[in-house]
């Protein structure tokens, strides 16, 4: 099997990007897990499949490192936009489609890429935090001292909470004392990641 792939890094996340416009590669979960394995594979937080689209410059399919799909990945969207630009698939300003809908992206310079996320439809408030969907689900919990939080343990408990069944959720822990700090537990990675684009969405004014 011959695959065309490259590894891109964006804001703390790294991704394997596979150009599958010729549909020559069948991305089974076992293959994705093997490629993303940091000990025996290439190693990555996730894998992104690029395919053609009749309605946009290209289509994006995102897979977490466990082989399961997610509707969107913010940093992954920025990386695939840069990949598309680098390989003359799209220009500096582009439109692509992911499982959550259409996105626009702009190449700012060699390292900075801006993408437009979907509109947030609403926020559900709980006693212990709030939940929303920015392309993928996120539960947001404010904490007093983010350095003392066991992100992997507490994040998994919240991700598995029955309130978010059956799809589970990503979890953002936020400490807004003396600045603004955020740490993220990502489902599919099943641990803390160094960054999360869909968990750091800024509202357009």
Tell me the backbone φ, ψ of residue 78, rounded to 5 degrees: -65, -40
Q: Spot the catalytic one: 48, 73, 94, 98.
A: 73
For 107, the 3-state DSSP assignment is: strand
Q: Spot the catalytic one: 196, 197, 198, 199.
A: 196
41: alpha, beta or left, given left = phi > 0 and alpha = psi -120 to 50?
beta
- Residue 37 structure tokens: 């394995």
Cα 118 from chain centre: 13
CB 69 within 8 A of CB 42: no
- Residue 8 structure tokens: 């891109």
> What size, in residues, is the chain?
205
**Exposure of 73 in the CB half-sphere (CA atoms within 13 A):** 36
- Residue 60 structure tokens: 């994006």
123 strand-pairing partners: 132
36 is catalytic: no
Positions annotated as catalytic residues are 73, 196
């Amino acid at each position: 099997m011959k695959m065309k792939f490259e590894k891109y890094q964006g804001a703390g996340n790294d991704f394997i990007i596979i150009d599958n416009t010729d549909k020559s590669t069948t991305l089974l979960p076992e293959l994705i897990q093997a490629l993303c394995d940091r000990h025996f594979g290439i190693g990555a937080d996730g894998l992104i499949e690029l395919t053609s689209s009749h309605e946009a410059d290209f289509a994006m399919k995102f897979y977490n490192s466990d082989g399961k799909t997610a509707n969107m990945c913010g940093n992954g969207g920025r990386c695939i936009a840069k990949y598309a630009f680098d390989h003359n698939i799209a220009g500096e300003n582009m439109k692509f489609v992911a499982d959550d809908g259409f996105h626009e992206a702009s190449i700012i310079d060699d390292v900075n890429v801006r993408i437009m996320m979907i509109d947030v439809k609403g926020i559900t408030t709980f006693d212990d935090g709030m939940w929303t969907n920015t392309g993928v689900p996120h539960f947001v919990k404010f904490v007093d001292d983010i350095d003392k939080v066991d992100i992997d343990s507490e994040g998994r408990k919240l991700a598995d909470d029955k309130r978010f069944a059956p799809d589970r959720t990503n979890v953002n822990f936020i400490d807004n004392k003396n600045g603004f700090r955020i740490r993220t537990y990502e489902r599919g990675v099943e641990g803390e990641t160094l960054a999360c684009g869909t968990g750091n969405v800024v509202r357009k004014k």
